[in-house]
Chains A and B, each alone.
Chain A
């Protein structure tokens, strides 16, 4: 029995010990609580007794409020110092909705002293829906000095309404630079979540696309503040002290507005894109997408009707074809596939392939056709490139295999975003087995490798990617990440800081391989049978490659007849080129949507762009005689 009672005693003892333990800890906790609150009390005594006079003065004179001072946005200049994006001072009338009791009555009373038309009301209603709480919404923009004076006299009648002086962005070249620069517009709710709101206190605009968005942090600068004395109703009496804002950096671009203008003119009213890159730096000399739009109305908030007209136009003027347009590169990819053949040693300069006008995979009946129905006969690499023989490249692509071809093309920038400082770039696509299994849930057929070899099918590239790849070819493998901005300069600073360069060297083992491809591309323009011989120049030598991107696929026995096909279903015309051949300073990619053959439509555009940059002026021969793909 004693043995039984022993654990009971022990449990009782345990329980008492536990109770004592908890009680001790509770007392210790109580002491700590008291000590902590005493610390707060001491702190309070310090603030409220010891430093009371100090804070009293601050509070009495304070009526001092801290106001943000927004930085001036950096300007944008082209390569020769021409202003592409400017700021001009403007007064707007802003209403802080949360501070107004009767909005309709306020607007009605305001309309009696300053002009408020239907467009203003419509814009106000739209911006009111998208506003950020406690931030002013503009009712009128660009007030005249008289209107500012008239409102100031009556301002006491309008709590929550203020005249706001700010710098409005303008783009003097309008449509010419809309796609490359983008534009700024009012900050919306989603952007509010992304940005550092205290740095944007007082800033109303943010870059919405292009360079303006990509370089937002450089262009914006940093907010300053000023302490202002306000009266009991919150009106500012005077400014005391503050920290000036750090202005946004001015951007100096590689872009040359004259080359940009030449490219735009050369495209004319056709839909298409032109990208010109300096192979020595990766600097973008021109980036054009046509049709374009005037960015200036977007800064102030474009009217709904005008916006819809742009948005729903069948020509898609808001669509940046140069960096977002993804097209099959067609035959323009052949120089790269040819180089891949040399590097993998699948072929060499002497190895010939027989072209009967079609290609058949072993054991299959399907005929992969060459653009020339009669065939090219026996061709080696150079004539195959010059005459753009499809069969040669079917055979080559098949021998290289997609697992080797895709990474080789990837080294030239195909299939991935280039990282250009223009917002919104698309990545294009180089198809592969993995891609097809993951995305299309289908197996890869050998025939698809052939189609990649001539740049058709699922293979997609942006005009920018084509220009960058061409520039890498021109520089013999010195690949640069393309960039529009060369340097950034703090206003008042003596020197501009160069922006970082990203580059890598493409290794082809034997440098002679570059010569073989470049020689063949030179023959495309300079040779007697070249598909772009019509653009030959007397001022400098050009290397190029024409291409055609199919918009729709022909059946096995159909033939392509441009005249019978709806204009929007016609092939896209492509051309890539660089010049001068011996010392390349410009590489160009051109696409003319539904333009037909690359040699006749796209190549002359490239020539005009190169003329503008290299200073050539010799006439072009009749381009109608160009034959082939």
Chain B
């Protein structure tokens, strides 16, 4: 019986902590999952970056910034978000046009807008503005949406996606399209429309092929037969599969991945970091990581179902599923399930822009969960 007050005290401490976080508009399970994920990511990065502490420090700085933004956005009531949806979308599209007209060309693609002080990728803004706008349009009338509204939403998605694909940035275009389409799906898009669209898309595939850039075609061809281009993107796929496969069940151990450290694996601290995890932590380690991702997505969907209004439900669902698309496209690419597309492993790959956007999205999720009337 003596243990009872102790456990009760512990319980109340947890409750109080939860209450404290709740007052800060933070969602405890989500925050916990994200922190675990980022800690794991930093450890992997230390290894993938050849034990360069400077790389880890820079990533830590970005993470701090991203969590800060998440915290700020968590304080914003979803009502405000809803009101800002469309203006933000218009702003984003205008900036995309500006990028196409006056943007900086980096590595053969126009993605950056130089605002004097900072260089900014407007396509990142659209990753949030598109699901927000689609949710705003769908929530304005009862669900499920009629054909006219579906078409309007499709147009709203297509405009920025085409502009981003023109930059050309296929990875981001896929993510922005995914962000809009998942909201549409959650919003009750009819199964018949889904089937018809899928069929049409299959029919249009040759047309799409015709409009692809040479390097994009090359990637598809390489995906079908990695050995055809062993020096280009095929090399990435071959080497990442060797890295993952040689990791086995238990992995070679942290900092012991030979593939990664002998420079066989290109882009090992950015898009291909998943292969380093596979090599060093093995199947067990990688399943833990996938479970962590699954938990975060699950929590996001729970927030969506429990949200007080339709706008919140749709936005929360969309944001959670975009996060999933990141995970699936990246892991699918590194394991050879999907063609090579420049999508980072969320919150683990080295690099700033996508991380900040993702954490902003989690801030919105937390706002939807914690702002209740």
User: Measuring CB to CB, which residues of chain A are less than 8 angstroms from any residue of chain B?
Assistant: 14, 17-19, 21-23, 25-27, 29-30, 33-34, 36-37, 39-41, 43-45, 47-49, 51-52, 54-56, 58-60, 62-63, 65-66, 68, 193, 198, 201, 223, 225, 230, 232, 234, 243
Instruction: Please tell me which one of the listed residues B187, B264, B324 contacts residue A33 in the complex, with CB atoms under 8 A apart.
Output: B324
A225 to B182 CA separation, bound complex (whole angstroms): 44
Among A14, A22, A43, chain B packs the most CB atoms within 10 A around the CB of A22
Chain B binding site: helix, strand, loop or mixed by DSSP? helix
Residues of chain A within 8 A of B321, CB atoms compared: 29, 33
- The answer to whether the Cβ of B327 comes within 8 Å of any Cβ in the partner chain is yes
Task: Contact check, B248 vs A22: say whether CB atoms are below 8 A apart.
Answer: no
- The answer to whether the Cβ of B94 comes within 8 Å of any Cβ in the partner chain is no
Task: Contact check, A225 vs B143: say whether CB atoms are below 8 A apart.
Answer: no
Task: Contact check, B337 vs A25: say whether CB atoms are below 8 A apart.
Answer: no
How far does the Cβ of B369 sit from chain A's closest Cβ, in whole Å?
14
Task: Contact check, B297 vs A44: say whether CB atoms are below 8 A apart.
Answer: no
Task: Contact check, B235 vs A66: say whether CB atoms are below 8 A apart.
Answer: yes
Given the contacts A26-B301, A40-B331, A225-B230, A52 and B264 also touching, CB distance less than 8 Å: no
Chain A binding site: helix, strand, loop or mixed by DSSP? helix
A33 to B324 CA separation, bound complex (whole angstroms): 7
Given the contacts A25-B185, A56-B248, A234-B263, A37 and B241 also touching, CB distance less than 8 Å: no
- The answer to whether the Cβ of B258 comes within 8 Å of any Cβ in the partner chain is yes
Q: Count of chain B residues with Cβ under 8 Å from any Cβ of A?
A: 54
Task: Contact check, A58 vs B249: say whether CB atoms are below 8 A apart.
Answer: no
Residues of chain A within 8 A of B317, CB atoms compared: 22, 25-26, 29
- The answer to whether the Cβ of B314 comes within 8 Å of any Cβ in the partner chain is yes
Per-residue CB proximity of B241-275 to A under 8 Å, as 1/0?
A: 11111111100000000110011100000000000
Task: Contact check, B244 vs A23: say whether CB atoms are below 8 A apart.
Answer: no
Residues of chain A within 8 A of B282, CB atoms compared: 48
User: Measuring CB to CB, which residues of chain B are less than 8 angstroms from any residue of chain A?
Assistant: 108, 142-144, 182, 185-188, 229-232, 235, 241-249, 258-259, 262-264, 278, 282-283, 286-287, 290, 293-294, 297-298, 301, 304-305, 310, 313-314, 317, 321, 324, 327-328, 331-332, 335-337
Residues of chain A within 8 A of B278, CB atoms compared: 44, 47-48
Task: Contact check, A26 vs B186: say whether CB atoms are below 8 A apart.
Answer: yes
A36 to B293 CA separation, bound complex (whole angstroms): 12
Residues of chain B within 8 A of A44, CB atoms compared: 244, 278, 283, 286-287, 335
Smallest CB gap from B324: residue in A: A33
Residues of chain A within 8 A of B290, CB atoms compared: 37, 40-41
Task: Contact check, A66 vs B231: say whether CB atoms are below 8 A apart.
Answer: yes
Residues of chain A within 8 A of B244, CB atoms compared: 44, 47-48, 55
Task: Contact check, A59 vs B142: say whether CB atoms are below 8 A apart.
Answer: no
Smallest CB gap from A39: residue in B: B337
Task: Contact check, B186 vs A18: say whether CB atoms are below 8 A apart.
Answer: no
Task: Contact check, A59 vs B259: say whether CB atoms are below 8 A apart.
Answer: yes
Residues of chain A within 8 A of B143, CB atoms compared: 17-18, 21-22
A529 to B304 CA separation, bound complex (whole angstroms): 99
How far does the Cβ of A195 sit from chain B's closest Cβ, in whole Å?
11
A52 to B282 CA separation, bound complex (whole angstroms): 10
Given the contacts A40-B337, A59-B242, A230 and B262 also touching, CB distance less than 8 Å: yes
Among A26, A45, A201, chain B packs the most CB atoms within 10 A around the CB of A26
A391 to B87 CA separation, bound complex (whole angstroms): 71
Residues of chain A within 8 A of B264, CB atoms compared: 62, 65
Task: Contact check, B245 vs A48: say whether CB atoms are below 8 A apart.
Answer: yes
A44 to B332 CA separation, bound complex (whole angstroms): 10
How far does the Cβ of A20 sit from chain B's closest Cβ, in whole Å?
10
Residues of chain A within 8 A of B245, CB atoms compared: 47-48, 51-52, 54-56, 58-59
Task: Contact check, B335 vs A43: say whether CB atoms are below 8 A apart.
Answer: yes
Residues of chain A within 8 A of B335, CB atoms compared: 40, 43-44, 47
Residues of chain A within 8 A of B231, CB atoms compared: 66, 68, 198, 201, 223, 225
Residues of chain A within 8 A of B235, CB atoms compared: 66
Smallest CB gap from B251: residue in A: A48
Task: Contact check, A45 vs B186: say whether CB atoms are below 8 A apart.
Answer: no
How far does the Cβ of A194 sit from chain B's closest Cβ, in whole Å?
9
Residues of chain A within 8 A of B258, CB atoms compared: 59, 63
Task: Contact check, B262 vs A232: say whether CB atoms are below 8 A apart.
Answer: yes
Residues of chain B within 8 A of A223, CB atoms compared: 231
